[in-house]
Structure 1
Amino acid sequence: MKRLMVFLLTLFLLYIMYYDISTGTIAFSPPAKDNEPAAAVQTSPSPYTVKEIKQGETVLTIVEQLHSGLPVSIEQVRKDFEKLNPNEKADAIQVGKAYKFPLYEKEVAS
């Protein structure tokens, strides 16, 4: 009796594997083709200013000086700086070198 149960279980598992491979259990539908080309997103260049680095300055201190405080999050300043200066890291700026620093518009209170 034990052998019969093992045999039936094996047949059942083989059938399940065959069904899964041949038919599958998840319906496959190819991605819908979009006939319309995606509209090109035109972003206006971010406003920036160029400033030469002096001893003791960091990206954050310069942005704070330009805006009388930090207008956005530190992570946003870092991302914007690295976007304006593609081959530079925000934490590896060099004294005497000029970099582009992002300018932020002040939000108008409603």
Structure 2
Amino acid sequence: MKRFFITFAVIVTIYVIYIDLNEGTLSSTSKQEPSLEVQASPEESPLFFEQKVQSGDTVLSIVEQYSTGGLSVSLETVVEDFQKLNDGLKPEDIQIGRTYSFPIYK
């Protein structure tokens, strides 16, 4: 009987490892996220704002301050939109004291 339980435990362990390696137990970031596309009409306010960067500011912290109801887009979208608004400047290259354009998310 002891041999049966050990064999059963080994089989279950191998099966669990197989499922984990093939499907995973955590949600994958490679799955397509729902995207939010914002189109502005001429009457709407601009979809970006300009702000001078202070010590300790990050692109994400500044964008979150101006987002109503929390951030509704992925971090990748924020980075892409910031780069579009600032001629390809990477978020990690911002400098204290300079003014940049930041996207607004509703």
Letter in 2 for 1:47: L
Distance, in Å, in 2 between the alignment partners of 1:77 and 1:87 is: 13
1:44 positional shift: 5.8
2:50 is aligned to: 50
Unaligned runs of 5+ in 1: 1-42, 106-110
Correspondence 1:97 to 2:98 = yes
TM-score (norm 2): 0.53
Distance, in Å, in 2 between the alignment partners of 1:82 and 1:104 is: 15
Structure with larger Rg: 1
Distance, in Å, in 2 between the alignment partners of 1:81 and 1:87 is: 8
2:11 is aligned to: none
Distance, in Å, in 2 between the alignment partners of 1:74 and 1:54 is: 21
Distance, in Å, in 2 between the alignment partners of 1:74 and 1:52 is: 21
Letter in 1 for 2:97: G
Correspondence 1:60 to 2:60 = yes
Percent identical pairs in the alignment equals 43
Give a deviation string over 1:17-69, Cα, whole Å, max 9, x none: xxxxxxxxxxxxxxxxxxxxxxxxxx869611000000000000001111153
Distance, in Å, in 1 between the alignment partners of 2:88 and 2:81 is: 13
TM-score (norm 1): 0.51
